[in-house]
Structure 1
Amino acid sequence: LDSLKTAAEDGRLRDLSGLGQRSEEKILKALEAGAGEQAEPRRLLGVGLPAVRRVVEELESHPAAIAVSEAGSVRRRRETVRDLDLIATASDAGALIAAFCQGSWVRDVAARGPTKATVVGHDELRYDLRVVPPECYGNVLQHFSGSKDHNIALREDAQRRGLSISEYGVTVAETSEVVTHATEEELYDYLGYAFIPPELRENDGEVAVARRGQLPELVELSDLRGEMHCHSTWSSDGKNSIVEMATESKGRGYKFLCLTDHSHYLRGGRMEAQWREIEAANERVKPFQILRGVEVNIRADGSLDVVDDALAELDWVVASVHTAFDRTPTERILGAIDNPNVDCIGHLTGRRLLKRTGAEVDIERVVARAAETGTALEINSQPDRLDMRDTHARLAGEAGVLIPVTTDAHSTTALGYAEFGIGLARRAWLTKEQVLNTRTWAQIAKLRR
């Protein structure tokens, strides 16, 4: 079922005879709902990544530790995860295993051996640690970081060249020599590939492209120059003031922030009042810029809930579907894209991971219209959204659509969600140039419709 779900997520089922995009979406929905068998509980990347990082940091501080890394689906930045894998090398494997099992965060030790252990934390997450010799650390880390399909593709390619790959080394068939590698970079180079970033290891063309040395230089979190979708206390669900949101963004190294409070909280003269507060706040945080924006609702009938004259006065307009997801979502989104005052479509399908499947949106039509009109399509970094998903973002990027990685933050803390969106962007093969908010606001303003 995992392989079927991956194929559906990657858009590969629609190419099979008798299946199309609708069938693929129905299969994916059934799998996400747990059809076929009772799936093990999955957790959001936004839960799993901070948790495994805390364990990595704790183990790295141990005197016996030489290197420690997360592995598995969390290292590939998949949107949801099950077990959290860690790979380490140490001067004393037993001592590191003991420290792992005796951590204050550990609730139960499920299994323990001289070089491997499995524990369950008080957070109900399951952690697996393997401690391996330094000389094969790269082999093991690669094996447990790559997806099953990625590793199969590597093995099949290696077999055609007289090599056999296992988690502990590469065997040369002619001589039976086992070659080990201390780093993943050394392993990929030995096999004849450019280094393949973990986020791409899903067998979606990366092996052949790496063989040719043509992998893109993926966007980095440090490339972001500003936030383009966030909220303040002007929205009833916002937790921090405009100045607080701007100050936190400035502290993160950003140069600008597009304030996009919910339109239904900005009626009755409140939008104009907010503009005055933004003007005053800009005086306090300059040269940092706070831009006047809004997140406008795409109603069930396809209309926007803010008049065009008001939208035309804003610096940045995000249009989003928040209700009636089953009522012609594609046509409603296309209508918003056709409005010259709309700059960006927010959380394209409206999905809530582990809770709600997204609307049945014709992604190809939306991407084509966005490319035609110069409308941006965001990657919403909220851990339970991550919307657009990676396959949709890759399609949009390849079509020339500019993609802002936003947090939809309702608090200063949530501005940190950008890391999850960047992970998704990297899974989508996106470069710095394809992500809109790697630019200054002056550069973005010139690209607006």
Structure 2
Amino acid sequence: MVEKNILLLFCEAGVYFAVMAGLLYGRRRFGIGLFVCAIGVMHFLETYLASFFYIQLPFGQLSPGSTVLFSGKLMMILMLHIKEDARIVRQPIYGLLIGNFLIVGLVMILRNHTVAALSPERLPDLSFIDEMGWLMVWGTILLFIDAIAIILLYERLGAWLRNLPFLRLSISGAVVLSFDQIGFYTALHFYSGAPFAAMLGGWAAKMGAAIVFSVLIMGYLRFVERETPAADHPLKDRRTRDVFHTLTFRERYEDLLQQTGRDTLTGVFNRRKLEYITARAFERDVSPSQPLSLLAIDVDRFKTVNDQHGHKTGDDVLRQLAKTLSDALRTEDHLFRFGGEEFVAICPNLGPAAAAIVAERLRAAVQQRSHEEFFGSTISIGVATAPMEAENYDALFVCADERLYAAKRHGRNRVVSAYSQLEEAESA
């Protein structure tokens, strides 16, 4: 009998995983809706089995609903996260949470009907519906917490176990399923007086499920779907603000974000990122009440550093200079390496006068460290502000660039802006 129960549990896990993995694999052709709906319709059965249907094994009592279906669902959500992103993985989680709250709300209304029995033997058992409804809501709340926790833990473990994916999967599943077992058993004991043997047996079974599903997921990722579709668009839907984007730190996102739009030498944003950010700013944000200032920055006599000390030293100077500039900017400002020894700073919500002050602060910060760290190099800066002086990015850059070269012509190590005396003298 025990061997039969164990064999059936493995069969249930295999069937569940095969179908759900097949739906996940077919998402490119049929969409993710099939996968999400399949997860949703299983929730009632999971809760019913976890509440009433138990089997006996040597280490205690357990329910296939918790061991196979719930554990499998949580691990499938983690696999969905691995293959996709937070925008996708949140859909089944929020759908289950909202759907089960809807069940409770409708039951509260339905119980006020005057019921007409089909026969004396077929009367509705609203107490059963009440119990199942609250257990489903409690289970869904736990699932919501579990899903966030397993994703977060999986990503955090990437710092130590990136080259050991099976260990990473199984530890994440074991830890979160342990928490879930405690939470669901507490509610089950309150509602139905479930014995502590169900707690221990269910926990041991979930630990086994974490290992089994980790093995199955590894097989899927290694032999069925090796590529990662989400890697093609790591910045997709970055405007979404929800708990998954707050808590999810996928290492491939971090790696790609460091490479996409970043200058490999200095670590600041590159020219392509500059054009992207300013284009979006002009589309949505730039107005007289929300000005945008651009600071064109050039390192004075940088060629001398390369010629006298070598290009490696020159690279070190650029890295340290970029850090000095970044530290002197406001937190909402962005620094870009435009090319060679040229940098650009974008300062949102900063008018002409304030932008000139920020530019002067940058110049002074570099000059203060010029002789000790930059081999005598200083910086010249040209400042322009939209929409007062330009209506688009190209015009804004041209204006700042012209002022930069005016600063270079008049002795370097200076700032030229709409408020500078030098520009006023030139126009006169």
- TM range, smaller chain: under 0.3
Q: Which structure has the highest helix share of the two?
A: 2
**Structure whose residues are more often strand by fraction:** 1
Give the greater-gyration-radius structure (CA).
Answer: 2
The normalised TM-score by structure 1 is: 0.22
TM-score, normalised via structure 2 length? 0.23
